Amino acid sequence: MKKSIQKPENWQDFETLCKKLWGEIWDIPLKIKKNGRSGQSQSGVDVYGIPKGENSYWGIQCKGKDNYTNARLTKNEIENEIAKAKTFNPKLDVFIFATTMNKDVEIEEFVRLKDIESRENNSFEILLYCWEDIADLIDENIDTYNFWVANKSHKTKFDFEVYLNDFENDFIIKPKCIRKIKRYKLKEPKIEKLDIGFSPLFGNTELMRKLSMITQPPQFKAYVSHQKVNEAICSFEIIMKNVGSVVIEDWKLRFRVVGEHKEIMDQLGTGPMGMIDIGYLKHKRTYVKENTISFTPKDNEPLIQKDNRYFKAYIIPLCEEYTIPIEWELLARDYDKSGTIFLKVQPGYEDKIIYEYVDTEDDLKGDEIISIEEKKNYIDDDE
């Protein structure tokens, strides 16, 4: 029967399931507690209580895996949570890792070794329950089974997703870049000039000017724009959608650009192009600080089911082909979620050839890339 038991949709539901399950196992359904609230330091403990017949607190660290952000509980993660659990007050007698991760021989062995080490140092006992273990326990505890599997009280479903342009998880941006290339070329042979004596045209400036206009293309005065234009700046849209079955309230998002880049902007006026749209500022819902863009809905407006919000952002990537991850985090009443979207950088190169003249064919070499830089019509102050 346990094979039909589905994993929770998100870590909040998993934490609630752990509280219900161990409250029944410990026979303290009214005394088991969640530790603090989202955003507060929890000393490595999400759920705690004193099991019936015991005298000391037991703590549970709920780790949602597989269907969430990370697929596997790591050794480093385990050590970090153990260290934090040692700061829980009062001292724990037993520390439990409960995870939706499927059973893993290497991780189970690691936890057993950490358990022996911990108890030898007069600290708490450490236990690990993977999803198959938890499914067994749900199957053996009728109240939790009815709560979770029979779905008698688990009716709501929060879910939220962030997309890039056209509701995709990744988007290709194409910055325009100048690629300076050194190209080797043989020198032209010198041609001896013939002494033809006095030219009848010499001194006839008017005739010389007319002939020059025939032999040379007309020169037009170039239009010079005083507006700074950086053609390496790329725009993209971020779309935030409620894909669950309940309304999301008191919500906001943070987007952190973790991949290499030169600058991230929520409008062009915040960057080197220097164009500020005053009308846009009145409706602005975003704020940029260093590598992070924060979004807050107008008037704390809730996000109803199937609805979405979006905004345009701008980035100056490096002039090379690579991927820029953007980590996002939703903070809302009764629900949080995080994930990652990706910008794929595929530069468009404009080659500028610089010739290096050599005397012999032996001196000829292949083309050499001297530099690659953003295509712009101005020079930075620090250049």
> What phi and psi, each to the nearest 5 degrees, are found at residue 172?
-90, 125
* Topology (CATH) of 161-175+228-345: Immunoglobulin-like (2.60.40)
CATH class held by domain 2-155: alpha beta
Tell how far CA 335 is from the center of its chain.
Answer: 20
C-alpha to C-alpha distance for 166 and 368, rounded to whole angstroms: 39
Which part of the chain has CATH 3.40.1350? 2-155
Give the model confidence (pLDDT) of 70-88 as tens digits: 567 899 999 999 999 999 9
Burial class of residue 317 in the structure, from the number of CB atoms within 10 Å of its CB (0-12 exposed, 13-18 middle, 19+ buried): buried
Distance CA 175, CA 372 (A): 12
Beta partners for residue 352, in sequence order? 180
Cα dihedral 136, 140, 143, 146 in deg (nearest 10): 60
Report the 3 state secondary structure along the chain. Answer: CHHHCCCCCCHHHHHHHHHHHHHHHCCCCCCCEECCCCCCCCCCCCEEECCCCCCCEEEEEEECCCCCCCCCCCHHHHHHHHHHHCCCCCCEEEEEEEECCCCCHHHHHHHHHHHHHHHHCCCCEEEEECHHHHHHHHHHCHHHHHHHCCCCCCCCCCCEEEEEHHHECEEEECCEEEEEEEEEEECCCCCCCCCCCCCCCCCCHHHHHHHHHHHCCCCCCCCCCCCCCECCCEEEEEEEEECCCCCECCCEEEEEECCCCCEEECCHHHCCCCCCCHHHHHCCCEEEECCEEEECCHHHCCECCCCEEEEEEEEECCCCCEEEEEEEEEEECCEEEEEEEEEEECCEEEEEEEEEEECCHHHCCCCEEEEEEECECCCCCCC
- Looking at residue 234, what is its pLDDT? 96
pLDDT score for 326:
95
What was the pLDDT predicted at 383?
Answer: 55
Helices 131-140 and 11-25: crossing angle in degrees, nearest 10, is 50
Closest residue by Cα to residue 330 from 151, 68, 101, 15: 68
pLDDT at 194: 54
pLDDT digits (tens, 9 = 90+) for 20-76: 999 999 999 999 999 876 555 667 899 999 999 999 999 999 987 655 445 678 999
Task: Tell me what pLDDT residue 91 has.
Answer: 94
Domain with CATH 2.60.40.10 in the chain: 161-175+228-345
The DSSP bridge partners found for residue 324 are 343
Which positions ≥6 away from 165 have C-beta within 8 Å? 171, 236, 237, 239
Tell me how far apart the alpha carbons of residues 302 and 144 are, in angstroms, rounded to a whole number.
32
Q: Are strands 322-332 and 252-257 parallel, antiparallel or unpaired?
A: antiparallel
Q: From the first residue on, what is the mean pLDDT of each consecutive set of 10 residues in the chain (383 residues)?
A: 69 90 94 77 85 95 66 87 94 95 93 96 96 93 85 65 93 95 87 55 54 49 61 95 91 94 82 45 77 91 93 94 95 89 95 90 89 86 58
Give pLDDT, residue 208.
57
Q: How far is CA 362 from CA 168, 190, 278, 367, in A?
A: 53, 19, 62, 15
